[in-house]
C-alpha cells in the first residue's frame, strides 16, 4: 500500500516509439519528472516503445513503478518484471480497470489504437459521472491536434455536451503537464 501523500499518475502511451524522436524524448522526460515529483508511475508494464521509455526513466530517477499487463501481451510488449509492482491480468479490460483504479490522474502520450481506447474509456467514464480524476493529453509536437479537432467537431455536431471538452486538458510540454499535475494533485 502506498502512503496517502504519494500520488499515482497513470500514463497511457504507445508500445512503439513512432517516427518522431520528440515522442520518446517526452516519454523519458515524463518518467523522470514523475519520479522527481514523488509520483508513482502506473502504466501498461511493457518494456517496449514509449511505455518502456517512460518506465526506464522513472526507475533511473528512483521512482516507484506500478505496471499492469495482460498475460497475452507478456511476450509482445516484453513484460517489465523489475517494476516496484508488476501485475498480470487475464484481459485488456482488467488491465485498464486496475490501472485506472490505482491512479489519481491520467496522462495520454502519443500512441495508437490502444492508447485511444484507454483514453476514450476514461473520458466516457468521466462524462457519465463515474469519476472526477484529471485527464491530460500530452500534445507533443502537435501529435494530438487532429484528435482535438475531432472532439470539437463531435461537440459542434451535437453528439456531446460542450462540457465534454473540459474533461480533457491538453498540454504541450512535460513542464506544463507537471505544473498542472502539481495544482490538481495538491
The CATH number given to 8-185 is 3.40.50.450
The angle formed by the CA atoms of residues 47, 53 and 58, to the nearest 5 degrees, is 100
Q: Pick from 6, 44, 5: which is nearest to 27 by CA?
A: 44
pLDDT score recorded for residue 3: 55
CA 124 – CA 153 distance, rounded (Å): 17
* Sequence ranges of the domains in the chain: 8-185
pLDDT tens readout for residues 11-60: 999 999 999 999 999 999 999 999 999 999 999 999 999 999 999 999 99
Q: What is the pLDDT of residue 5?
A: 72
In order along its 186 residues, the chain shows pLDDT tens digits of: 555 578 999 999 999 999 999 999 999 999 999 999 999 999 999 999 999 999 999 999 999 999 999 999 988 888 999 999 999 999 999 999 999 999 999 999 999 999 999 999 999 999 999 999 999 999 999 999 999 999 999 999 999 999 999 999 999 999 999 999 999 998
For residue 171, the cross-strand partners are 138
What's the Rg (C-alpha) of the chain? 15
Contact 65, 55 (CB under 8 A): yes
- What is the C-alpha separation between 121 and 156, in angstroms, rounded? 21
User: What order of strands is seen across the sheet that includes strand 105-108?
Assistant: 85-89, 65-70, 40-43, 8-12, 105-108, 135-138, 169-171
Q: Confirm if 64 and 40 have CB atoms less than 8 A apart.
A: yes
In contact, 139 and 172? CB cutoff 8 Å: yes
At 154 the pLDDT is 98
pLDDT at 2: 55
Amino acid at each position: 500500500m502506498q502512503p496517502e501523500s504519494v500520488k499515482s499518475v497513470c500514463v497511457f502511451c504507445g508500445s512503439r516509439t513512432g517516427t518522431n524522436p520528440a515522442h520518446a524524448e517526452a516519454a523519458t522526460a515524463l518518467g523522470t519528472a514523475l519520479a522527481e515529483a514523488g509520483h508513482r508511475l502506473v502504466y501498461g508494464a511493457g518494456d517496449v516503445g514509449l511505455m518502456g521509455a517512460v518506465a526506464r526513466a522513472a526507475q533511473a530517477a528512483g521512482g516507484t513503478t506500478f505496471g499492469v499487463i495482460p498475460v497475452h501481451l507478456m511476450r509482445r510488449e516484453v513484460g517489465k518484471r523489475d517494476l516496484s509492482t508488476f501485475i498480470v491480468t487475464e484481459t485488456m479490460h482488467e488491465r485498464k480497470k486496475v490501472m485506472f483504479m490505482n491512479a489519481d490522474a491520467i496522462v495520454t502520450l502519443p500512441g495508437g489504437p490502444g492508447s485511444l481506447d484507454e483514453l476514450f474509456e476514461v473520458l466516457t467514464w468521466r462524462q457519465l459521472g463515474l469519476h472526477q480524476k484529471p485527464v491530460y493529453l500530452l500534445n507533443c509536437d502537435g501529435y494530438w491536434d487532429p484528435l482535438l479537432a475531432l472532439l470539437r467537431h463531435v461537440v459542434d455536431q451535437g453528439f456531446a455536451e460542450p462540457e465534454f471538452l473540459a474533461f480533457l486538458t491538453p498540454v504541450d510540454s512535460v513542464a506544463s503537464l507537471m505544473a498542472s499535475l502539481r495544482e490538481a494533485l495538491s
